[in-house]
Amino acid sequence: MKIRVRELTIAAACLALCLFLPSLTGHIPQYGRAISPMHIPVLILGFLTGWPLALLVGLLAPLLSFFLFGMPSLLPTGLAMMFELAAYGVAASLLRRAFPKNIGFLYASLALSMLIGRAVWGIVSLVIAGIAGTEFTWAVFFASAFVKTLPGIVVHIAIVPPIVAGLRRALRIAD
């Protein structure tokens, strides 16, 4: 697989945004973390480039953030986030290529990518809980993956497709 300089530049910019955006939203009382700011650049990257770069940035972003800023905690949050973000990027990339190229299917790809990422997060969290000897129930999964993150889900649905559509036009990225 050939990766072009433009794709590497987009990936680097998205990785930088993964590290920067949490510092902006972390100051919003009650909702800062629920917005899931690191997820936005990974989803955008998945829609703009191939899955290998989106996978790599998804895995690296929480890890780099932990080593640079101490957040998120590496276990269990950071590890589960690494797999979740990687799944977001891969799913967004593959679904964007599988569906027709219009805005409606971009929203559908986003929704499915978010569901896939949350399912992966749940599976990894379940494994981590099993190893740690802690409980991870359906109620905990549902609350953590959908209820507490509802502000982020709304923000992602509101901003990711227009940003992707605008960047695809501005950067002249062919479908």
CB atoms within 10 A of CB 107: 13
Q: How many domains does the chain have?
A: 1
Please state, in angstroms and rounded to a whole number, the distance separating the CA atoms of residues 39 and 87: 11
What pLDDT is attached to residue 105?
A: 96
CB 38 within 8 A of CB 62: yes
Burial label, 40 (beta-carbon count in 10 A; 0-12, 13-18, 19+): buried
The terminus-to-terminus CA distance of the chain in angstroms comes to 17
Is 125 contained in some domain? Answer: yes
In a domain, 175, yes or no: no
Q: Which two tokens stand for residue 85?
A: 């973000």
d(CA 118, CA 98): 20
Which pLDDT tens digits describe the chain residue by residue (175 residues)? 677 899 999 999 999 999 999 988 876 766 667 889 999 999 999 999 999 999 999 999 999 999 999 999 999 999 999 999 999 999 999 999 999 889 999 999 999 999 999 999 999 999 999 999 999 999 999 999 999 999 999 999 999 999 999 999 999 887 6
Note down the domain range covering 9.
Answer: 5-170
CATH number at residue 129: 1.10.1760.20
